[in-house]
């Protein structure tokens, strides 16, 4: 940044800015109404609004004029000691620059403020930011980052660099605040970094529009500076991009519910335990393909959010293979003492559970509680009368002859009106 300042003839000013940015902050917008009014009148209204640093330069000049007197500086919300230290740092930088053979003499030049802003861009180009739109302080930055311009910033340019980036945790949400901003003219980017631009046409998902768009884009590094629509995107590509957003959890298919997930678990259960059935599992890649089918023909989230899901998911297997799902991984099982069938819960790790009140399993042979063509024993959750788990077993017959006596002793006293054999 200092070498660029030397080339543009504004080294003393930029050295002072460097001193301001290296030390502790000596100027902030005051909370006291009288002090704030004085700040606006004497400092901010008189400063060039192309950079927050110009506000600080104006404040430093007033502090120097007051000989950094604590009382006089305090009336304007300036910390005199910190302002003095910033000046000392600037002098040290100028001495170092002079030893390097740079021109440290101050000179009145046309467009001085513009020259200083260009130097700040040279020093902080990795913190270039572009407002999302003219009505917001939200910005996109290079390297895929995003942030919000501080409210006290005087800069209203759509393109800017931020010398300060602060991450603030508010109730678990991390907010990135951009401070000490400087307006950027796109022409300066072309002048300083001509090799960092790229142009291209591509199809992408736009999260602000929640739709897939085909655009011609001009980028500085990875930050889109300008874009223009290039007509309707290809439907295959659009389906792939929308599906990726659904898989990532950024978009929600309302009909992709517990019924769909339970069906997938049953399919994967049969695929794992009954290889002779040749049922293909629904893994992560298969989910992506299924969601792409659901999204096909659409370009926006509005078009896909209410689309039916289960019918498409069930088409993953052939009609003949549906027989194996119903037979080897039934959704429910009849228990003689229950009015309604008991649900079977399948897990991603290949286990299967059946849960009901303990008394519902009286007179039920343990070898009847099997699935996967008899190759997998159900894990039996025996529930107390309050429907809370009392015991878990994969050997019901062994339970009756063993642990049941301890369970009965514990529960019978609390629930004497229930049957206890």
Among candidate residues 328, 359, 379, the one where a domain is terminated: 328
**Mean pLDDT score across all residues of the chain:** 91
Q: Would you say residue 134 lies in a domain?
A: no
Q: What integer pLDDT is reported at residue 171 of this predicted model? A: 66
Same domain, 336 and 313: no
Q: Which range of residues forms the domain containing residue 275?
A: 258-328
Same domain, 298 and 402: no
**pLDDT tens digits, one per residue of 226-275:** 988 888 999 999 999 999 999 999 999 999 999 999 999 999 999 999 99
More confident residue, 15 or 298: 298
- Give percent above pLDDT 90 in the chain: 71
Among candidate residues 90, 113, 136, the one where a domain is terminated: 113
**pLDDT tens digits, one per residue of 29-83:** 888 888 889 888 989 888 889 999 999 999 999 999 999 999 999 999 999 999 9
347 C-beta neighbours (distance < 10 Å), count = 12
- To the nearest 10°, report the CA torsion of 262, 268, 269, 274: 150
Locate 31 and state its tokens: 């909370």
Mean pLDDT of all residues in 388-407: 93
Same domain, 381 and 322: no
Mean pLDDT of all residues in 85-101: 85
Q: Say how many domains are in the chain.
A: 3
Relative orientation angle of helices 80-99 and 11-22, to the nearest 10 degrees? 130
Same domain, 348 and 362: yes
Among candidate residues 295, 328, 361, the one where a domain is terminated: 328
Whether the model clears a pTM of 0.85, i.e. scores above it, the answer is: no
Same domain, 93 and 16: yes
Same domain, 102 and 23: yes
Same domain, 103 and 16: yes
Q: Quickly tell me which residue has 């009901």 as its tokens.
A: 356
**pLDDT tens digits, one per residue of 120-164:** 999 999 999 999 987 889 999 999 999 999 998 999 999 999 999
Q: Would you say residue 240 lies in a domain?
A: no
Same domain, 22 and 78: yes
What span, in angstroms and rounded, lies between the C-alpha atoms of 312 and 256? Answer: 11
Most confident of 1-15, 278-292, 403-417: 278-292
Q: Would you say residue 223 lies in a domain?
A: no
Q: Would you say residue 389 lies in a domain?
A: yes
Tell me the C-alpha to C-alpha distance, in Å, between residue 334 and each of 219, 285, 350, 361, 368: 64, 35, 22, 11, 10
pLDDT exceeds 80 at position 344 = yes
Same domain, 380 and 290: no
Q: Would you say residue 82 lies in a domain?
A: yes
Q: How confident is the model at residue 91 (pLDDT cuts 50, 70, 90)?
A: confident
**How far out from the chain centre does Cα 45 lie?**
38
Same domain, 7 and 63: yes
What span, in angstroms and rounded, lies between the C-alpha atoms of 42 and 397? Answer: 89
Q: Would you say residue 285 lies in a domain?
A: yes
Same domain, 26 and 107: yes
Locate 165 and state its tokens: 């980036």
What span, in angstroms and rounded, lies between the C-alpha atoms of 112 and 92? Answer: 22
Mean pLDDT of all residues in 339-368: 95
**pLDDT tens digits, one per residue of 308-327:** 999 999 999 999 999 999 99
Hey, is 39 helix, strand or coil?
helix
Contact 358, 382 (CB under 8 A): yes
Long-range pairs for 221-226 at CB < 8 Å and ≥24 separation? 221/128, 221/142, 221/143, 221/196, 222/142, 222/143, 222/144, 223/128, 223/130, 223/140, 223/141, 223/142, 224/130, 224/140, 225/130, 225/159, 225/186, 225/189
**pLDDT tens digits, one per residue of 154-205:** 999 999 999 999 988 766 677 899 999 999 999 999 999 999 999 988 899 9
**pLDDT tens digits, one per residue of 252-266:** 999 999 999 999 999
Q: How many helices (H) and strands (E) does the chain have?
A: 16, 15
């Amino acid at each position: 940044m200092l070498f660029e300042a030397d080339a543009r003839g504004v080294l003393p000013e930029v050295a002072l800015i460097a001193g301001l940015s290296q030390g502790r902050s000596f100027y902030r917008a005051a909370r006291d109404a009288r002090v704030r009014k004085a700040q606006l009148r004497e400092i901010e209204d008189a400063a060039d609004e192309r950079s927050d640093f110009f506000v600080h330069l104006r404040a430093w000049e007033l502090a120097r004029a007051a000989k950094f007197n604590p009382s006089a500086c305090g009336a304007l919300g300036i910390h005199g000691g910190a302002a003095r230290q910033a000046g000392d740092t600037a002098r040290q930088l100028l001495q170092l620059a002079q030893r390097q053979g740079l021109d440290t003499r101050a000179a009145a030049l046309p467009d001085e403020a513009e020259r200083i802003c260009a130097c700040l861009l040279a020093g902080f180009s990795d913190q270039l930011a572009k407002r999302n739109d003219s009505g917001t302080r939200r910005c996109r930055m290079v390297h895929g980052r995003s942030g919000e311009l501080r409210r006290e910033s005087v800069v209203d340019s759509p393109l800017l660099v931020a010398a300060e980036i602060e991450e603030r945790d508010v109730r678990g949400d991390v907010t990135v605040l951009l401070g000490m901003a400087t307006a950027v003219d796109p022409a300066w980017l072309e002048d300083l970094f001509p090799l960092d631009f790229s142009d291209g046409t591509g199809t992408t998902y736009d999260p602000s529009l929640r739709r897939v768009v085909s655009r011609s884009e001009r980028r500085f590094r990875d930050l889109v500076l300008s874009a223009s629509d290039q007509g309707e995107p290809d439907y295959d590509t659009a389906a792939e991009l929308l599906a990726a957003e659904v898989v990532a959890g950024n978009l929600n298919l309302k009909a992709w519910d517990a019924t769909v997930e339970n069906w997938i678990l049953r399919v994967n259960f049969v695929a794992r335990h009954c290889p002779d059935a040749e049922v293909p599992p629904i893994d992560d890649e298969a989910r992506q393909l299924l969601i792409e089918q659901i999204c096909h023909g659409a370009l926006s989230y509005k078009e896909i959010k209410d689309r039916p899901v289960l019918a498409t998911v069930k088409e993953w297997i052939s009609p003949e293979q549906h027989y194996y799902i119903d037979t080897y991984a039934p959704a429910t099982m009849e228990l003689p003492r229950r009015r309604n069938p008991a649900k079977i819960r399948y897990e991603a790790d290949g286990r299967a559970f059946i849960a009901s009140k303990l008394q519902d399993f009286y007179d039920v042979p343990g070898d009847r509680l099997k699935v996967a063509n008899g190759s997998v024993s159900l894990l039996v959750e025996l529930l107390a009368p309050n429907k809370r788990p009392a015991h878990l077993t994969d050997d019901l017959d062994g339970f009756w002859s063993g642990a049941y006596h301890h369970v009965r002793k514990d529960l019978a006293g609390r629930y004497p009106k229930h049957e206890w054999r």
